[in-house]
Amino acid sequence: MKVFVAIFLTMTLFATVYYADSEIPSLKEVFSSYFKIGVALPVRVFSNSLDVQLITKHFNSMTAENEMKPESILRRGADGKIFCDFTMADRYIRFAQQHGFVVRGHTLVWHSQTPDWFFRDDSGNLLSREAMIERMKEYIHTVVGHFKGRVYAWDVVNEAVDSNQPDGMRRSLWYQIIGPDYLELAFKFAHEADPEALLFYNDYNEFEPRKRDIIYNMVKDLKEKGVPIHGIGMQQHLSLARSIEQIEQAIALFATIPDIVIEITELDVDIYRDNVTKYQTAPTELLHEQAEFYRKLFQVYKKYSHVIDNVTFWGLKDDYSWLRGFPVRRNNWPLLFDENYQPKPAFWAIVDLQT
Ligand code: G3I
């Protein structure tokens, strides 16, 4: 009996997905004259045919959600020797080549998801500035070199800004050991390893006026100094409480930097406005509010499509989102597709924009 029920449920899901897949417009086609449409993926999706079907229908750019971060690539042998393991990361490249995707590399230099031992010598003491620069150089050369020609854009430095610091710079171990010039060194090393790759500074909450201005001045200064930085990655982890006007102000300001490329690198729209509410099922009125939010957001993205060349969603479907575990464990519905692979009102809101 159980087997029959399982078969029936699987067939129903297949039928539903097939219906969704064959009947609805493809996001990448809808936005083809504006920007690439990307998605962040955990490696497990490659062995799930329903996921693969949805991914290949709607997206043409992909980002590894965790698998290209330093903690996923860096290894240390029994002899203490550091090396890189690309086994998981290479699966993204194989999939991308097979299905005609471009790949965003995320990320090289970050305070988070980087092993603590990477910053230390064999005795556990922090490295000297010179040794840290050498280690950074070797890591970036190895990783960017490995993916040369196969990763078109890198988030070279991630989340280096802290607007609560007097100079606006996060006091990460990178900053503490090397000093503020670690950013320009990282971009230089990445450019040496792949001169064709687009190199980004990537951060969140860029709509906050102080943070926005710090990022603007920092990137503008780096460019004026001749540092090989090509663009700003705007993560866009948003919520219904955010102001579209402030988001547009940040995009408009960044767009004034000469020769700048903007990529929306980690888009999602949290339906909660606080950290305590928990819904069992998605309230219909919030899904419609979210659709309206996405509609206005994409109007802005389209308005600036002369500088925005990629809009990447941070997850394939609601139940895969990191927001189901952050800031607290709860149901959340921040993306365009629901748990059952069905397009939500937000999907139709951005697709209908085109007509
Ligand atoms: O690797 C362990 C695994 O061994 C263990 O079994 C599992 C148990 O929960 O945890 C695994 O680690 C998780 C890791 O993702 C890999 O799946 C961590 O718990 C989890 O906290 C971690 O979260 C990721 C987060 O970055 C960490 O900073 C999210 O998936 C990922 O979506 C999120 O992505 C970041 C961007 O890189 C940068 N911008 C913000 C964005 C959202 O936080």
CA dist 249 and 243 (Å) reads: 10
Distance CA 225, CA 196 (A): 19
Tell me the HSE value of 228 on the side-chain side, using a 13 A CA sphere: 18
Q: Whose CA is nearest to atom 23 of ligand 1?
A: 322
Q: Phi and psi of 194, rounded to 5°?
A: -150, 90
Provide the total of helices (H) and of strands (E) in the chain, helices listed first. Answer: 12, 11
Chain segment 214-249, per-residue pLDDT in tens: 999 999 999 999 999 999 999 999 999 999 999 999
- Residue 19: per-residue pLDDT: 45
Question: Which of 41, 43, 62, 65 maximizes ligand 1 atoms within 8 Å of its Cβ, making it the mutation to test the pocket?
Answer: 65
Kindly give the number of the ligand 1 atom that is closest to the alpha carbon of 235: 39
- Mutation test residue for ligand 1: of 200, 318, 322, the one with most atoms within 8 Å of CB: 322
**Token pair 């305590």 is at which residue?**
276
Ligand 1 pocket residue status of 246, Cβ below 6 Å? no
Is any atom of ligand 1 closer than 6 Å to the C-beta of 235? yes
What tokens appear for 284 in the block?
């219909």
322 close to ligand 1 (CB < 6 Angstrom)? yes
Ligand 1 site, residue 248, Cβ cutoff 6 A: no
Of the residues 65, 67, 206, 266, only one is catalytic, namely 266
Interval between CA 66 and ligand 1 midpoint (Å)? 6
User: How would residue 23 be classed by pLDDT, with cut points 50, 70 and 90?
Assistant: confident
Of these residues, 65, 67, 159, 263, which one is catalytic?
159
Mean of all residue pLDDT scores within the chain: 95
* Residue entry with tokens 């064959």: 22
The predicted pLDDT at position 314 comes to: 98
Distance in Å, CA 265 to ligand 1 centroid: 16
Ligand 1 pocket, residue 324 CB under 6 Å:
no
| Bridge partners of residue 83, in order along the sequence | 75
Report how far ligand 1's centroid is from the alpha carbon of 22 (Å).
33
CA distances from 68 to 114, 119, 254 (A): 11, 18, 27
Residues 144, 133: Cα–Cα separation, whole Å? 16
> Ligand 1 centroid to 23 CA: how many Å?
34
Protein residue closest via CA to atom 13 of ligand 1: 66
Burial classification of residue 157, based on how many CB atoms lie within 10 Å of its CB (0-12 exposed, 13-18 middle, 19 or more buried): buried
Of 179, 239, 170, 237, nearest in space to 206 by CA: 237
Question: pLDDT value at position 353?
Answer: 72
Q: How far apart are CA 211 and CA 209, in angstroms?
A: 6
> What count of residues does the chain have?
355
Per-residue confidence (pLDDT) for residue 223, from 0 to 100:
98
Residue 72 Cα: closest atom of ligand 1: 1
Residue 289 designated active-site: no
| Cα(206) to centroid(ligand 1), Å | 21
Going by CA atoms, what residue is nearest to atom 42 of ligand 1? 322
- Is 113 close to ligand 1, i.e. is its CB under 6 Å away? yes
The answer to whether residue 7 scores a pLDDT higher than 70 is no
Residue 353 corresponds to which amino acid? L
Q: Which residues contact 355 (CB under 8 A, 6 or more apart)?
A: none
Asked whether 142 lines ligand 1 (CB < 6 A), one says no
Active-site residue, 159 included: yes
pTM for the whole structure: 0.94
Mean pLDDT of 190-201: 98
On the question of pLDDT at 12 being above 70, the answer is: no
Q: Where are the alpha helices (DSSP H) in the chain?
A: 2-23, 27-30, 49-58, 70-73, 87-99, 129-146, 173-178, 182-193, 209-224, 244-254, 284-303, 345-352
Q: Is the pLDDT of residue 174 over 70?
A: yes
User: How many whole angstroms separate alpha carbon 304 and alpha carbon 255?
Assistant: 8
Q: Which of ligand 1's atoms lies nearest the C-alpha of 204?
A: 39
Ligand 1 contacts CB of residue 203 (under 6 A): no
Answer for the pair 263, 104: CB distance below 8 angstroms, yes or no.
yes
Choose the weakest-confidence range: 5-19, 96-110, 145-159: 5-19
